A = this chain, B = another copy of it.
């Protein structure tokens, strides 16, 4: 589907925080999961996600921990991210913001 960068911008942070609310995840997993859940509509790139994770961590919204992959899966060490209380608060705010924003745009687009 390949959406233009201007659209993608605002969605990265809310989506990451929302996923991490479900359970801890590592970067590579997030990329694959987003692509899967959107049925390929959102094609996230590693070069986008990794810096975003670092920014969120620097801002105290998430924290990380290196862990081995479970024996059943194998593979190299993974950096698991979990959401912090501050990140949770942010998530709520950003989801509201997202819905307020899209509805404001709809209003103008529909000529209300």
Contact = CB atoms under 8 A, between A and B. Distances in A.
A100 B1 contact: yes
B97 A3 contact: yes
Interface in A13-47: 13-15, 18-19, 22, 34, 37-39, 41-42
Secondary structure of the A contact surface, majority rule = helix
27 contacts: A1-B100, A3-B97, A3-B100, A4-B10, A4-B97, A6-B9, A6-B10, A6-B13, A7-B9, A7-B10, A7-B101, A9-B9, A10-B10, A14-B105, A15-B108, A15-B109, A19-B108, A34-B108, A37-B107, A37-B108, A37-B111, A39-B107, A41-B104, A41-B107, A42-B108, A98-B105, A102-B102
